[in-house]
Amino acid sequence: MAGEIHSSTDYIKHHLQNLTWGQHSDGSWGLAHTAQEAKEMGFWAFNLDTLGFSLLLGVVFFFLFYRVAKKATTGVPSGAQNFVEMIVDFIDDSVRGSFSAKSDLVAPLALTIFAWIFLMNLMDLVPVDWIPGLAGMVGLPFLKVVPTTDPNATFGMAIAVFALVLFYSIKIKGIGGFAGELTLQPFGKWALPINLFLEGVTLISKPISLALRLFGNMYAGEMIFILIAIMYGSGMMMASFAGILQLGWAIFHILIITLQAFIFMTLTIVYLDMAHQDH
């Protein structure tokens, strides 16, 4: 595939294309070797890179925290234990500050969301050509290494949170209470259609805002790294300038990837807190 990249536009499109597996127009199943083939595969295609890196990073998170928890000691803690305890205390403070009800799910969920999204975002700091270049050497036409730049991943997580919000809204308030929230506020029973419209938009906007905020910020960050990478092929002076830009943007991007993981986690806690409140 590298031989088919003839311009900056081709380079950008190549790096923004997922490794897609699905059904071809002739009925056979396999990898898409062009963006058009991936488009023709339709809704039921699978982005193998998004799924693969998401699962891999989830396993990394689980393994690291499990290993530290298994070796935890009340004596002199190791550096890894100090780091994990710092993260756990941070999550605990965030949950205590934003969640007023009692639940055994919210704190572990918040920890999982923050750590998992942070690890997925962190992949954006890997130079854009390293892993895709290795993938091309083994015959893979495309490979995106940052799962959160794929809206399928961000919407998947957001919809899972939304399902929990609906579950606890009905569990705590009952079907009647939940329906009453959607139809009787803020203007009372005489404005039921208006109430339903306003509350319905507010409800549906929760997963959309969660997904698009994370996707938009990470996609923009990835695009900047790709544009900087193009500068390396424009002569020695531009390559030197690109190196400075890449370092500066990488340092600044550490703040972005952490902030986006924190925002997704915080909004999840707030939405679940609202679901537990019975008006």
Q: Which residues are catalytic?
A: 209, 213, 217
State the CB neighbour count (10 A cutoff) for residue 31.
17
Coil, strand or helix at 31 = strand
Residue 116, SS3?
A: helix
* Alpha-carbon distance values, 109 to 28, 208, 211, 272 (Å): 40, 19, 17, 11
3-class SS at 22? strand
3-class DSSP state of 45: coil
Q: Are residues 132 and 15 in contact, defined by beta-carbon separation less than 8 angstroms?
A: yes
Per-residue tokens: 255: 């703040």
Amino acid at 166: L
Q: Are 203 and 179 in contact (CB under 8 A)?
A: no
- Omega before 151 within 30 of 0, i.e. cis: no
Secondary structure of residue 255 in the 3-state scheme: helix
